[in-house]
Structure 1
């Protein structure tokens, strides 16, 4: 484990590439540039969005070995980082768990590659033409449920959230339990719908 090796050692910089709290992103499709706000700081910070996590700018470093050494020190202290490549070297970004979501963050648009999970258990539909709103009945629930139909499958209303990242994170949690879901956008909100395989039209 990197956290058991002194951060100043060469061994730390070699092991950091295998540490779960350090990722080297080789493709621009793996992240999206944005700006965020964090508590106790009035300034917007340059950041990248990776999956559902935001990382703020930490440092630009020209030498690869130095980048790994700095990343190792950050991880050794309990941090989580990602590294991206730029023309002048490499950039280290530090995970920000307490991001304040404002309009600039909320409007981040997913790259096409991120509009469906790798597992295929959730999908992001941008257009209302991609689905039809309806009401369904499901076993053990007396009242009809608001739902959408996509490819002849019914998805019942699950939750409405403000941020895209929050919607994806919730859908990932559903997917980890084997549930298939769809994310749609309504005004300034995002709606999560979960597959109801035993549903009938109300």
Structure 2
């Protein structure tokens, strides 16, 4: 069964992820959804809620470092997913992922994942000088990650991610799904550039 992992940084938008993942699972019931939380993300979304929604083990800094299903290190099991989405990708996660630094389950996930399967959606507060992070976004892109525009607001970022996931896994859609990812601008270009190789 195809799988996706969501690596979440700690922002207020993280609190919406249980709801968003419930939507995603309803739309794509044949897709295995797994999650990894930074320490800061655990303040906004609980591993209990995410495990209940996804039915899978959640990677946290204080959790079991081994996969309950396979016994292998959890970060390696997660890194084998068909797609890894880092959303919201906080400034710390962006910088550390670009530099290869590992300080939490999310940066560990990015370090070990195939970069061609990684989608990064930056979550930069409007008061931050976003140009400070430009070199890190460029480095992630050069490594093979798909980096979404840093100026997307969280709702637009989630809409783009939802469309990308739907386009990447069309065989996982619910039989009664009426919406399609094809209606979101840029999805076809992303799909061709990153998954039709």
TM-score (norm 1): 0.24
Larger of the two Rg values belongs to structure: 1
Larger relative contact order (Cα-Cα within 8 Å, sequence gap ≥ 6): 2
- Which one has a larger percent strand, Structure 1 or Structure 2? 1
Q: Which has a greater percent of helix?
A: 2
